[in-house]
Amino acid sequence: MMQMDMQRFAQSTVQPLKGVPRAALPQALPRFAHRLSRNQQPVNERASVVVRVEAPEKPATSTEEGKSAAVASAPQPQPTAGANIVYKSWEGEPQGKITGPTVVITGGSQGVGRALACQSAKAGYNVIIASRSPATLEEAGKAAFNSNTGAKKPAVLAVSVDITSESAVKGLATTAGELFDDISVLYNNAGVCATGLVEDTPIDATRYMMEINFIGHMVMTQQMLPYLKESAMRAKTRQGAPGQNVPMPAIVFVNSFAARIPLKNMSIYTASKYALVGFTDVLRDELRSSGIFVGTVNPGVIKSNFLERAQWYGKQGDFARDTMSGAWEQAGFVLQTPEEVANEAFNCAKNQTLTEINVGPAFNGMVQTYRMTGFNPFALAP
């Protein structure tokens, strides 16, 4: 019966796109997503979808002058000596470690990361914000601290760190462990997107994409795991006490619907997201006995300035940038706010009931359709 329902769902939502000319696809896709969002058939909330659009602050410049120029314009990871504190909400040195549950957020100076920092601080968590941009970090730290209007405010720490630098990530983990006694949640949120044909995409850009979207998350997870495991052991002990209902520590990856449905002309972005979801699935099994929860949140397209920070390669990249801008501006009902995505990530870590959450029925429906029928609307892109 469920299979029949999904088949009807696919037929009723996919059919409208089959006669659409490729040149008109950027304008047709938002209407397609809107139809999915209004469809009354139930959608499996555990299915995954991902096109993450939160990017680091370092954009790349598109070029039409061949691969040599593309390589020159590709962003290069900058070595970082360590983690540098940009903002802290307290004065002087704390007397002993700062107590209370603490969250660590990468890519936390803007967009979803900043919204997560504010929501976590408002809920009473101490917050460690990590990002590469000192200019936006201080403002994000202050915003998170001011989100909590209670008498006892949580501690907020903003640290400048490049997650492509293993030494910098180690510095961040050491600082977190020395200052805070209960690292409860790690939100792996940093990411960057890129568009261009495979033949126009420089290998250096591919390495950079994997460093940010996959390897950086792995290194951050490795370095924070000892502290998360300590918190898990303490949480298990407290759970045995009468009247105690202590949530276990959690690692939540803010990924993208590109981890479940391939995006034409975005090969290295899609590959990095596939790698991350595979890593996440294995990590979940490895940490099951420790009690640490591992979850994935898959946004669709987020209403932010991601287009300004995205990377574009070759003529196809330029075309996609121009047409994508117009299409999404006309489709405000499809876009997701940073706060929407942050709320899903926060609840994923807090409730620990769903290991994978797709943000929004429209993108969830696209993934379900792709799984049931093999039809990928993004494959029709020019």
Token couple for 208: 């950079």
Q: What is the pLDDT of residue 360?
A: 81
Going from the N-terminus, what domains does the chain have, and what CATH number goes with each?
45-380 (3.40.50.720)
Alpha-carbon distances of 295 from 3, 287, 346, rounded to whole Å: 27, 12, 11
Q: What is the pLDDT of residue 325?
A: 59
Token couple for 30: 């938002």
Outline where the chain has alpha helix (H).
Answer: 2-14, 25-38, 67-73, 111-122, 134-147, 166-179, 203-210, 216-239, 267-287, 306-309, 314-329, 338-351, 361-373
Q: pLDDT truncated to tens, each residue of the chain (382 aa)?
A: 444 444 444 444 444 444 444 444 444 454 454 444 444 333 333 333 333 333 334 434 333 333 333 333 333 333 334 689 999 999 888 888 999 999 999 999 999 999 999 999 999 999 999 998 888 999 999 999 999 998 889 999 999 999 999 999 999 999 999 999 999 999 999 888 888 899 998 999 999 999 999 999 999 999 999 999 999 999 888 765 554 556 899 999 999 988 888 888 889 999 999 999 999 999 999 999 999 999 999 998 887 766 667 777 777 777 777 776 566 556 555 778 899 999 999 999 999 999 999 888 888 888 888 888 888 877 777 6
Strands 183-188 and 250-254: parallel
Q: What is the pLDDT of residue 59?
A: 37
- Residue 180 sits at φ, ψ, to 5 deg, of -120, 145
How far apart CA 173 and CA 225 sit, in angstroms, is 9
Classified as helix, coil or strand, 75 is coil
Q: What is the pLDDT of residue 129?
A: 97
Tell which phi-psi region holds residue 352, choosing left (phi > 0), alpha (psi between -120 and 50) or beta: left
Give the closest residue to 256 by CA, choosing from 216, 302, 220: 302
How far apart CA 30 and CA 39 sit, in angstroms, is 14
Q: What is the pLDDT of residue 240?
A: 58
**pTM for this predicted structure:** 0.78
- Residue 266 sits at φ, ψ, to 5 deg, of -130, 50
Beta carbons of 246 and 237 less than 8 angstroms apart? no
